[in-house]
Amino acid sequence: MAKITGNVFSIEEFSTFDGPGIRETVFLKGCPLKCMWCHNPEGQSFESMVVRSPNGCLNCGACLKKGEEITGKSCLVKESIAVCPRNLVRICGEVKTAEELVSIISKNITILNASGGGVTFSGGEPLSQHKFLLECLKLLKDKTNRAIQTTGYTSESVFREVLSECDFVLYDLKLMDNDKHKYYVGGSNENILRNYSILASSGKDFITRIPLIPTVNDTAENIEATAKFMNKNKVSKVEILPYNKMAGGKYKLIGKEYKPEFDGNIEPNPHKDIFEKYGIEVKVL
Amino acid sequence: MRENVKKMYDFLLERSFRERRSDKIIDITDLVEGKSEYETQVIRLREMLKNEGTLIYDGDIFGFNRTIKNLPKYNCKDGKKSHTDSTGNITVNFKGAIEKGFDSIIDFCKEKLNTELAESSVNYYNTVIEMLTIVLDFCDRYRDYAKSVGNETLYNALCQIPHGKATCLYEACLLQKIILYMQRLLAHSHTTLGRFDQYMYDYYKMDKEKGLSDEDLLEIIELYFISLNLDTDIYHGVQQGDNGQSMVLGGFDLEGNSMFNELSKLVMEASLELTLIDPKINLRVGKNTPDWLYEYATKLTKKGLGFPQYCNDDIVVPGLTKLGYKKEDVVNYTVAACWEYIIPNCSMDVPNIDTFNFPLVVNNALHAHLKEAESFEALMEFVDKEIRQEVNVIIERHKSNWHNRVYAAPLLSIFVDGCIEQGKDLSEFGAKYNCFGCHGAGIANGADALAAVKKLVYENKEITKDELLNALNSNFEGCEELRNKLLNCSKMGNNDDYVDELGSKIMESFSSEMNGRDNGYGGFWRAGTGSAMEYIWSARKCPATADGKKAGEAYGSSFSPAITTKLNGPLSVIQSFTKFDMTKIINGGPLTMEVHDTVFRNEEGEKKVAALVKAFVHLGGHQLQINSINRERLLDAQKHPENYPNLVVRVWGWSGYFCELDLEYQNHVIRRTEFSV
């Protein structure tokens, strides 16, 4: 039987906000959602892609010419990597077996563990590659602390299965109103909210996170609904990630334009008072 | 910060006082013509102090501020020494002076003169007496001036010191300031502050017994540190900030007991509160350093000053002992102006006398032997031979170089054990240790070049020997594809044994050939991992290399990955750079890492950075500099320097004001590896 493989678009060794201790964060490629503020746009598609860093580009066109030679149209191809005079072209998304990925992580496990840290699988949406994810989590069992950073956008059975194999969960709650959720996030929040309840009653260590986007989900109405929902699930802690103006930084890399429909210059309002009304402790990161 | 401290602090940051200094040039060419070295030193000091005024700023309790920018000039026709010659970069025995006072040193010299002595010693003692008398006269002038302006604090202290011994922490600091002030006038630059928390500890305890609180003592330390920053703009150095005012805290004694004390903590507290360049803090750590100390030190890193620099006692102490230093001296080790480990109180080592240019030597070996080497192993034998040969060239070069590097320095030698006792100047080997240290620049670039050759030429045979050599000769003109292949090979810093082992091999060749070799002056050679300014200077002399580096491009600073390396992250870096047994290459030279300041956003982030430092120490790293840097802020500072007068960055061994650096260094700081969330 062929080994299960996954597509990894980045591994960060010293991630300090993805769980307890020093985290090695693995970014799995592909996401079924499409948040308007996504700061990892290169992680949205499920396929590997050739990307070009815009900083320092001489616009010499050698990379695109190579694409034209091979495909007949001006585009980036794998062969473009070698011809860039500044070495700015690279592959985003490498296919690896679970064993390969775990052996990379293993090199750092002593340091990760010594700091009380471990591995965090992020994305994209890591649950979208759940078979690969499960395989990795199983191989890492009892070796280090295993966390996932997820939107929870998946079926109940997949969620339960993955949950049973991880030690810590970072769970995003973005918008409570389903229509708005569909518009801004690109999918329904029904399974997200259902899986959240499963997580909250599972006894697993987890943290709820809200990426706070000005005028989109920092409204009193949405915060009230979120706090109420968390309170119903007996959750008493939340971490707020205020919108980062650097979010658009990587769109050029994949040849896209960042066009949010909200004003990123507005300082989002975390409405701490509302959370506190529901007995929820707020930490702004 | 107490109000009086805040007032001095604001005064310092405002900087306008610096414009009031005189530009006057004191030309003493006629006076020193035909004079001996000792006489010249005396004249330099006397003429400078004749012209220097007494200047005590409002709220200043230390005085000894410069009123003239330039040191006396002389250019003797006979081509003899010039005013820029300087002996320094050592840590003197401040404690000895602080405990005695200058009168007793003069008495000691006079007593010696009553005994039978060689003529050179008679000259030496007479010179010392003459110089100390000039210094004391000047201090008396200051004392009287302090009284006349109603500065009772300074007046009272100057009634006690420097004639007599210090009786409290304030007097001890003042006496040290006077010593440093005088040494600077003779261009004895880079005399470092050493283990301040150890030799000042008795005074700290005395003051505590007298009823002073930690807050009172913090005030004194903060005022002292501010005073150390007042005149740094006119100190001699390669770039501003490179002035040697570094300090070493903590460490372990021979039995392994921690020597980090209440004063060490207070010094760090002062540094945290002031956020000033000086003094630069080095922290001695080891496997038994508690987490809280790493975490506290990380708060200092977060300030963005580029320190503390960490030194690992578990590696440095055995390393220096193996070289030939006595263990009781080694346990006191300090750090020179940048990072070279030096023995305080009793050494006149020159730890930066030369630089081994790894990329250049490796490159020369490639050009000379690649064609004939049938296997990579055969090539490595040639590389080993070339490295050893170059080490011998360096050793030979300095066999008769002592007097070109260590000039007569009677005023400095007073404070170095052995000189006064023997009646011998530092230049005449009055100190116990007289060793030479050699930097090792561009180790990663050298290893990377070999890894690329091994992979592409010998294993994969993707590039022929001629193709490689031609590409190097043409500085990669028209060979972009070939260069990309080189750039995308395994690089040091990614925890890949393939290249890291080659790094270990070249370090082994270099250090085993050099360590312990006689330097011709009773001292030995020490090999290191530092680069100082050589990561730019030596690199300029280096043509295109097989790691893909173009001619003249900078190396990684000190013991760090090459600048262009795409890194996995800091965990890989610290593992790559701790594989070699670092006790074998212990002249000094840190791994330098930049951490984006967003990592420090909260206390949790701080703890994680602290854990990273701890991991490095436990892996057996010898020295680490970890900087908090925000790229966007640096870029903006380049565009709008007027908005960033106080932005401090660490450049190589020292910190400097970013906006005052040459563009080349600014760009290098910006390009240096940066890890962020």
| Residues of B with Cβ-Cβ distance to A24 under 8 angstroms | 569, 571
**Pick from A13, A16, A84: CB nearest B605:** A16
| Residue A21 at interface with chain B, using a CB cutoff of 8 Å | yes
| Residue B96 at interface with chain A, using a CB cutoff of 8 Å | no
Give the residue from chain A lying closest to B575, CA to CA. Answer: A108
Q: Is residue B634 part of a domain?
A: yes
The pLDDT of residue B253 is above 90? yes
Q: What is the pLDDT of residues A58-68, one digit of tens each?
A: 889 999 999 99
pLDDT band at A272 (very low <50, low <70, confident <90, very high): very high
| Residue A16 at interface with chain B, using a CB cutoff of 8 Å | yes
Element (DSSP H or E) covering residue B3: helix B3-14
Judgement on whether residues B250 and B299 belong to the same structural domain of the protein: yes
Q: Give the pLDDT score at A14.
A: 87
Q: What is the mean pLDDT of residues A133-153?
A: 97
Q: Give the pLDDT score at B390.
A: 98
| Residue A22 at interface with chain B, using a CB cutoff of 8 Å | yes
The pLDDT of residue B392 is above 70? yes
Contact pairs from chain A to chain B, CB under 8 Å: 82
- For residues A264 and A6, which has the higher predicted lDDT (pLDDT)? A6
Could you state, in order of their start, the residue ranges of all structural domains in chain A? 5-48+93-284
CB distance B675–A14 less than 8 Å? Answer: yes
Q: Is residue B154 part of a domain?
A: yes
Judgement on whether residues B334 and B242 belong to the same structural domain of the protein: yes
Report whether A207 contacts A23 (CB < 8 A): no
Judgement on whether residues B450 and B560 belong to the same structural domain of the protein: yes
- For residues B603 and B30, which has the higher predicted lDDT (pLDDT)? B30
The pLDDT of residue B133 is above 90? yes
Judgement on whether residues B491 and B550 belong to the same structural domain of the protein: yes
Maximum separation of any 2 CA atoms in chain B, in Å: 82
| Residue B675 at interface with chain A, using a CB cutoff of 8 Å | yes
From B585, B619, B641, the end of a domain falls on: B585
**Of A87-91, B385-389, B477-481, B616-620, which range is least confident?**
A87-91
Q: Is residue B300 part of a domain?
A: yes
| Residue A61 at interface with chain B, using a CB cutoff of 8 Å | no
CB distance B484–A22 less than 8 Å? Answer: no
| Residue B609 at interface with chain A, using a CB cutoff of 8 Å | yes
Q: Give the pLDDT score at B135.
A: 98
- ipTM for the whole complex: 0.91
Q: What is the mean pLDDT of residues A250-268?
A: 87
Judgement on whether residues B418 and B330 belong to the same structural domain of the protein: no
SS3 assignment, position B568: coil
pLDDT band at B677 (very low <50, low <70, confident <90, very high): very low
Count of domains for chain B:
3
Judgement on whether residues B362 and B334 belong to the same structural domain of the protein: no
Query: What 3 state SS string does B576-595 have?
Result: HCCCCCHHHCCCCCCEEEEE
Q: Is residue B74 part of a domain?
A: yes
Q: Give the pLDDT score at A189.
A: 97
Top CATH class, A5-48+93-284: alpha beta
Q: Give the pLDDT score at A55.
A: 63
Q: Is residue B181 part of a domain?
A: no
The pLDDT of residue B529 is above 90? yes
Q: Is residue B132 part of a domain?
A: yes
The pLDDT of residue B238 is above 80? no
Q: Is residue B498 part of a domain?
A: yes
pLDDT band at B540 (very low <50, low <70, confident <90, very high): confident
| Residue B615 at interface with chain A, using a CB cutoff of 8 Å | yes
- For residues B119 and B598, which has the higher predicted lDDT (pLDDT)? B119
- For residues B668 and B305, which has the higher predicted lDDT (pLDDT)? B305
CB distance B602–A285 less than 8 Å? Answer: yes
Give the residue from chain A lying closest to B602, CA to CA. Answer: A285
Mean pLDDT across chain B, nearest whole number? 92
Q: What is the mean pLDDT of residues B123-147?
A: 98
**Sheet order of strands, B525-527 included:** B350-357, B436-441, B525-527
CB distance B575–A16 less than 8 Å? Answer: no
CB distance B611–A114 less than 8 Å? Answer: yes
Strand partners, B248: B282
**Of B224-238, B356-370, B518-532, which range is least confident?**
B224-238
The pLDDT of residue B651 is above 60? no
Give the residue from chain B lying closest to A284, CA to CA. Answer: B602
| Residue B10 at interface with chain A, using a CB cutoff of 8 Å | no
**Of A249-258, B226-235, B469-478, B542-551, which range is least confident?**
A249-258
Exposure string over B150-188, b if 16+ CB within 10 A, otherwise e: ebeebbebbebbbbebbebbbbbbbbbbbbbbbbbbbbb
Q: What is the pLDDT of residues A158-215, one digit of tens each?
A: 999 999 999 999 999 999 999 999 999 999 999 999 999 999 999 999 999 999 999 9
**Of A42-56, A138-152, A220-234, B424-438, which range is least confident?**
A42-56
Q: Is residue B169 part of a domain?
A: no
Containing structural domain, residue B396: 357-411+414-568+578-585
Give the residue from chain A lying closest to B608, CA to CA. Answer: A22
CB distance B571–A11 less than 8 Å? Answer: no
CB distance B568–A11 less than 8 Å? Answer: yes
From B585, B618, B651, the end of a domain falls on: B585
Query: What 3 state SS string does A58-95 have?
Result: CCCCHHHHHHHHHHCCCCCCCCHHHHCCCCCEEEECEE
The pLDDT of residue B654 is above 60? no
Judgement on whether residues B330 and B362 belong to the same structural domain of the protein: no
Judgement on whether residues B518 and B395 belong to the same structural domain of the protein: yes
**Pick from B484, B571, B609: CB nearest A108:** B571
Q: Give the pLDDT score at B564.
A: 81
